[in-house]
């Protein structure tokens, strides 16, 4: 039996399974098992390691609260602006760098990418100090210098969301630029030459050549940006820390952390996590359909 198993694993039929076995084991232990346990826990009241009581849908019914709705709205606004900003701006910068119009393009590529290597906590602290509520904060000083009124940036949802998006753009802009540059470099120059012969201007080349050429990269960037937008947590903690008065800046992941670890309600936190998972999957499926990801090529 052992010899037969050894011969199978070393033969042409067994070797592929042997190579993919580490991934399958990793997937089962790190992804599938926690997901199954989260689904089970979402229907339970957990009062300790050995006290798991089945309560049905009560955890999901408890989600219709002011704090959860505020966290969902914050994550939704952030995700929408995150997709808009981190899709359009890096694409425009990548097109300029790829076109050769900007001198020292390699320098600017490095300059845009460096922030992604910075710790989120450090960057959040710097932004929190720069956009402080006091009139002596850096940004408020600049506003006062130009005759404008200082703003309590992190005390209200609108200005706070602006700071959060600005921090995200500063940190992840360079990463998306690299993605777009890889797609732009894969577009054959013959396509642009053919468009030039047909009399297409720069805008028409961008619409009919560049965008279709980088479509797979564009889909990937939007997908990971949606995921990053709804799962954002560290940036919010770095900006507000414990001074999150009224729930301003608290995302749905922050709400899940609060109810799970501060209020010791892991069953409710599991329900929040599954709602977040369903929301992210639904939004990404919608954008994949709109982008024609499932459309068969002619």
Exposed e or buried b per residue across 245-264, where buried means at least 16 C-beta atoms within 10 angstroms of its C-beta: eebbbbbbbbbbbbbbeeee
Looking at residue 36, its pLDDT comes to: 92
- Quick: pLDDT tens for 201-259: 888 888 888 888 898 899 899 989 988 888 888 888 888 875 565 667 788 888 888 88
pLDDT band at 179 (very low <50, low <70, confident <90, very high): very high
Query: What is the CB neighbour count within 10 angstroms for residue 54?
Result: 10
CA angle 208, 169, 212 (to 5 degrees): 15
Residue in 220, 226, 224, 176 with CA at minimum distance from that of residue 75: 226
- What 3-state class would DSSP assign to 46? strand
Going 186 to 280 to 246 to 258, the CA torsion angle's sign is negative
Residue in 211, 210, 214 with CA at minimum distance from that of residue 180: 214
- Quick: pLDDT tens for 66-95: 888 888 888 888 889 989 999 999 999 998
Exposed e or buried b per residue across 143-157, where buried means at least 16 C-beta atoms within 10 angstroms of its C-beta: eeeeeeebbebbeee
The conformation of residue 150, written as its DSSP 8-state character, comes to: P
Residue in 295, 293, 286, 297 with CA at minimum distance from that of residue 83: 286
Mean pLDDT of the region 163-173: 89
Mean pLDDT of the region 170-182: 91
Q: What length does the chain have?
A: 298
For each of the domains in the chain, give its residue range(s) and CATH number, in order of start. Answer: 2-59 (no CATH), 64-290 (1.10.3720.10)
**Alpha carbon distance 139, 88 (integer Å):** 25
């Amino acid at each position: 039996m052992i010899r037969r198993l050894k011969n199978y694993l070393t033969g042409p039929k067994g070797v592929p399974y042997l190579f993919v076995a580490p991934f399958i084991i990793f997937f089962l232990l790190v992804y599938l098992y926690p997901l199954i346990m989260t689904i089970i826990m979402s229907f339970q009241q957990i009062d300790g390691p050995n006290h798991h009581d089945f309560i049905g849908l009560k955890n999901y019914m408890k989600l219709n609260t002011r704090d959860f709705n505020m966290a969902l709205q914050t994550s939704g606004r952030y995700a929408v602006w995150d997709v808009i900003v981190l899709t359009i701006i890096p694409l425009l910068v990548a097109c300029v760098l790829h076109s050769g119009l900007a001198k020292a393009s390699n320098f600017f590529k490095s300059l845009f990418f460096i922030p992604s290597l910075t710790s989120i906590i450090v960057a959040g602290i710097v932004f929190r100090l720069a956009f402080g509520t006091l009139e002596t904060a850096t940004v408020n000083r600049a506003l006062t210098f130009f005759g404008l009124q200082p703003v309590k940036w992190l005390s209200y949802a609108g200005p706070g969301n602006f700071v959060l998006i600005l921090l995200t753009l500063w940190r992840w802009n360079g990463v998306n630029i690299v993605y777009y540059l890889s797609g732009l470099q894969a577009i054959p120059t013959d396509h642009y030459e053919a468009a030039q012969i047909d009399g297409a201007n720069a805008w028409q080349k961008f619409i009919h050549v560049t965008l279709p050429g980088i479509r797979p990269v564009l889909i990937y960037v939007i997908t990971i940006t949606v995921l990053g937008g709804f799962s954002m947590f560290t940036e919010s903690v770095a900006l507000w820390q414990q001074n999150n008065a009224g729930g301003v800046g608290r995302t749905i992941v922050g709400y899940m952390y609060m109810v799970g670890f501060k209020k010791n309600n892991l069953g409710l936190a599991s329900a929040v996590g599954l709602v977040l998972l369903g929301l992210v999957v639904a939004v990404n499926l919608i954008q994949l359909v709109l982008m024609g990801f499932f459309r068969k090529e002619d």
